[in-house]
Amino acid sequence: MYDFTYRKASSPDEAAKVYASADDATYMAGGMTLIPTLKQRLASPSDVIDLGPASELAGIKAGGNNITIGAMTTHATVAASADVRNTIPALASLAGGIGDPAVRHRGTIGGSVANNDPAADYPSAVLGLGATVHTNKRDIAADDFFVGMFETALEEGELITGFTFPLPETAAYSKFPNPASRYAVVGVFVAKTGSGVRVAVTGAGPSVFRATEMEAALSVDFSAKALDGITVDASGLNSDIHASAEYRAHLVGVMAKRAVEAAA
């Protein structure tokens, strides 16, 4: 691990000021990705800004047709929340299937989404539910947020403060997990809303993406049978020691059907 200056921030404004004054700073939420990266000397920031003391960034609030979750809310908190379970049980279930208990009690929704790991679970929920990403500068629609592998629409120094999820008529998440890490080899989040169906796929490609052909079919007939005959192009999908691109393409169809069955 390279030397760095450890800083604490008690609010988003303080974090942004510290970031702007540093040479090459980085924010730390739960640290589930950042700490291993620093230990392996794959990053060498001048300052690490710990967002843990910023209590206003954590919490869950349900009201109207939405539920809002603060960026520093842990996976375990989302999974156990009665508000989330009662309004979007698929989101609570997704959070409960992330990593292991240690990861779920330290990792945060904001850190996961900002990192945009291609195999992370939360990006599929954000995109699948058509959530809004709130930052200290603006609001970003989910469809505009995820840009590429480990890349988002966040600008230099911009900080996620929370998320607003519109409540779906029904939704479900199904994933084929890596047995060691619990990351998604392929995960599919399906949400039926008043304006149609959204299908978001994680683990298969360089970044989370929407399966538009499946969305069109499910908007007409929300059943697993509606997905019969729909295939996913394997070109451009991830291929590694865990699964080939072709196998991942197959899994997208399998996980999508399971998600629809669970939602229906």
Name which of 70, 6, 81, 65 is nearest 38 in CA terms: 6
Name which of 157, 159, 214 is nearest 191 in CA terms: 214
> Which residue type is seen at 50?
D
- What's the CA gap between 67 and 21, in Å, rounded? 34
| Tens digits of residue pLDDT in 211-243 | 999 999 999 999 999 999 999 999 999 999 999
| Per-residue confidence (pLDDT) for residue 194, from 0 to 100 | 84
Tokens coding 78: 């989302």
| Tens digits of residue pLDDT in 32-88 | 999 999 999 999 999 999 999 999 999 999 988 999 999 999 999 999 999 999 999
> Which residue type is seen at 4?
F
| Per-residue confidence (pLDDT) for residue 208, from 0 to 100 | 98
Name which of 90, 80, 74 is nearest 165 in CA terms: 90
Q: Which residues pair with 257 in a beta bridge?
A: none
Query: What is the mean pLDDT of the segment spanning 256-260?
Result: 98
| Tens digits of residue pLDDT in 3-40 | 999 999 999 999 999 999 999 999 999 999 999 999 99
φ/ψ (deg, to 5) at 142: -55, -40
Query: In this structure, what DSSP letter does residue 226 have?
Result: G
Report H helices in 12-121: 12-21, 34-39, 75-80, 82-87, 89-96, 101-106, 109-115
Query: What is the mean pLDDT of the segment spanning 105-128?
Result: 97
Q: pTM value?
A: 0.96
> Which residue type is seen at 223?
S
Is residue 150's pLDDT more than 90?
Answer: yes
The answer to whether 81 and 61 are in contact (CB under 8 A) is no
